[in-house]
Structure 1
Amino acid sequence: MEGERAGRFDGRVALVTGAGSGIGAAAARRLAAQGARVLVADIDGRAAQAVAKELPRAHPLTVDVAQPAQVDEAFDELVRRHGRLDVVVHAAGVDDPAAKEWIAEALLADRPPEVTARLGDEAWRRVMRVNLDGTFHVLRAAVRVMAPRRSGAVVTVGSSSAFDTLVGYPHYAASKAGAHALSQSVAKEAIAFGVRVNTVAPGPTETGMAARTPAALRQGFADGRVRPYATPEEIADVALFLASEEAANLVGAVLLANGGRFTV
C-alpha cells in the first residue's frame, strides 16, 4: 500500500506537530516516505530529533504549541528554509493522567467517578492551553503562510471523545469539541483562499498517551464487536488522505476513525 502512494507528496513541504511520538511521528514518517520535506515539531526536542534523524529531508523543531510565539517562530523558520508550506498535520495534544486514575479507581470500586468537583483550575487550563489554544495557534500560523499562496492543506487531530464523552473527563472532551468547531469555522473561512482544513477524530489508539491509561480504564474500552485499538499508522493514513489531492472536495470534515464504536 505504501509503495502505491510513493511520490504522493513529492515537492511538498510539511510541518507536523506532536511529531516526536504517536500519531504525529507516524504522520511525519508517512509524509517523508511519500516524498515530502518534513519539519518534525514537538515540545520534546530530543524526541523530535530522533524522528527527524530517521527521515530524508527532515528537520527537527522544538515547539510548545501552547506558546504562540514559539508556533509563529516555527512557521517563520519553515518559510526561511523552504519558502513555502503545503501541508500541516497538527497532532500535538495532552491528556490528564490524574483524572484517568480517578476514573479507574471508581471503576474498580464499582462506583460513579467523581472528577468535576475535584478538578483544579490548572488541570483544566493545561488541557485547554494545549488542545484548544494550541490548535488555534497552529491554524492561525498556517493560514498566515498558506492563504497568500492560495494553496495548502491542514489536518487537525481531534478525538471521538468530543462526541461520545467519557464520564469524568470533561476538560478533555470540551477541549477536543472546541478544537473540532474551531477547525470547521476556520475551514469555511480559509477555503476562500485555497486552503483546506479538515479533522480526523480517532478513537482509542496505541500511543504513549494510551500506554499511560490505567488498565481498568483500558478494559472499559474493550468491545469484541468492534476493531481493537487503532495503530498510529492507521490514523496517520487518514490524516494524509485528508491532506492529499484525493480529498480535494473535503472541507471542514470531521472523519471518525474509531473502529465502529459509534457513529454520529
Structure 2
Amino acid sequence: MRVLAGRRIVIVGGAAGIGKRITEDFCRQQDIVAITDRNAEAGSELAAQLRESGGQASFYSMDVCSWEDSRTAIEQAILDMGGVDVLVYSAGITRRVPFEQLEWDEWKRTLAVNLTGLFHAAKAVAPKMIEQRSGAIVIIGSGSAITGSGGGVHYAASKGGAFGFMRTLVSELGPHGIRINTVAPRVIESEMLSRLYPNPADLERLKESIPLRRLGTVDDVSNIVQFLSSEESGYIQGQVLICDGGRTYS
C-alpha cells in the first residue's frame, strides 16, 4: 500500500481504544500525528511514548462537544504541522439503555459526542483542506446505524446521522479534492464492547453468531483507515465499509 510519509494527521479521540491503534499505526509510517482527546493524561502519555520510540506525535486537549474547544485545538494542531492531510474522527460513546429508560441527558450527550463532535472536527479542518485542494476524512461509524444495535436508539441514531453527514459532505467538499469515507465496525474487542457485554458467556454467544467465528480487533479497523487515507483509495468516495466478520448481512 502506497502512503506518503510525513502526512499531517489529526485524530480525534486518539488516546484510547480504536483511536489509539490508529494513532500508533500512522506514527509507525512516519506521519506527523496530532492526537486530540478529552483525556489529557492518556493523550499526553501516548504522545510521549510515541516520541520516545521515534514517532512524531503531539497531544491537544479537546472536548468534542464544544465548538470553541474543537476549533482552537484543531487550528493549533494544523498551524503546528503546517497543514492537514487526514482527519480521523474516532470519538464515540455508548451505554446499553432501553428506549423506555433512556433519559434526555444521555440522548443529548451521545449525540453531542458521536455526531455534533464530528461536525465540529470537520468544520475545523475543512478551510485548510479546501485551501490545499486535497485531504481525506475518515469517520469511525458503526454497523449499529444499519442494524439498530450498539446499546440503544441514542447510539444507532448518532451513527446513522454520521452516514448522512458524510454523504452531504461528499457533494460539497468533493469538488475541492477532499474525500470522505466511513468505516463501520461491529463487535470489535475494545473497552466499549466490554461495557456492552460484561458477561463472558454473552460475549462467547456473540462470537458464535459471527460467520468468521471471531471478534474484530482494533488492527482490523485501523487497516481500513490506513487504506482509506492512502493513494490506493483515491477514487473511493462517500462509502461505508462494514468491518464485522460478515455478521450484519449473514
Instruction: Tell me, yes or no, whether TM beats 0.5.
Output: yes
Residue matched to 1:239: 225
Match of 1:181 among 137, 147, 164: 164
Moved more, 164-173 or 141-150: 164-173
Match of 2:183 among 200, 224, 249: 200
- Are 2:142 and 1:159 aligned? yes
SS of aligned partner of 2:208: coil
- Are 2:19 and 1:24 aligned? yes
Moved more, 195-204 or 219-228: 219-228
Encode CA deviations 1:11-68: one digit per residue, 9 max, x unaligned.
2110111111111111111111112100111110111112112221110111111111
**Matched ranges for 1:105-124 at <5 A:** 115-124=98-107
Task: Report the Cα offset of residue 187 of structure 1.
Answer: 1.7
Residue matched to 2:246: 260
Match of 2:29 among 26, 29, 34: 34
Moved more, 72-81 or 13-22: 72-81
TM-score for both structures, normalised by structure 1: 0.87
Structure 1 residues 227, 65: CA separation in 2 closer, same or farther (over 3 Å shift)? farther
- Are 2:85 and 1:86 aligned? yes
Determine what percentage of the aligned residue pairs are the same residue.
32
SS of aligned partner of 1:222: helix
Task: Report the Cα offset of residue 167 of structure 1.
Answer: 8.3
Task: Report the Cα offset of residue 130 of structure 1.
Answer: 0.4
The question of whether the paired residues in 2 share the 8 Å contact of 1:19 and 1:51 is answered with no
Moved more, 251-260 or 159-168: 159-168
Unaligned runs of at least 5 residues, structure 1: 100-114
Structure 1 residues 168, 29: CA separation in 2 closer, same or farther (over 3 Å shift)? closer
Runs of at least 4 residues of structure 1 off by over 6 A?
none
The question of whether the paired residues in 2 share the 8 Å contact of 1:188 and 1:251 is answered with no
Task: Report the Cα offset of residue 177 of structure 1.
Answer: 0.4
Number of residue pairs aligned between Structure 1 and Structure 2: 243
The question of whether the paired residues in 2 share the 8 Å contact of 1:71 and 1:141 is answered with yes
Residue matched to 2:126: 143
The question of whether the paired residues in 1 share the 8 Å contact of 2:10 and 2:33 is answered with yes
Structure 1 residues 140, 220: CA separation in 2 closer, same or farther (over 3 Å shift)? farther
CA RMSD of aligned residues (A): 1.8
Task: Report the Cα offset of residue 262 of structure 1.
Answer: 2.2
Taking the aligned partners of 2:188 and 2:248, their CA distance within structure 1 comes to 15
Structure 1 residues 223, 46: CA separation in 2 closer, same or farther (over 3 Å shift)? same
- Are 2:214 and 1:228 aligned? yes
Taking the aligned partners of 2:65 and 2:205, their CA distance within structure 1 comes to 31
- Are 2:197 and 1:211 aligned? no
Structure 1 residues 167, 14: CA separation in 2 closer, same or farther (over 3 Å shift)? closer
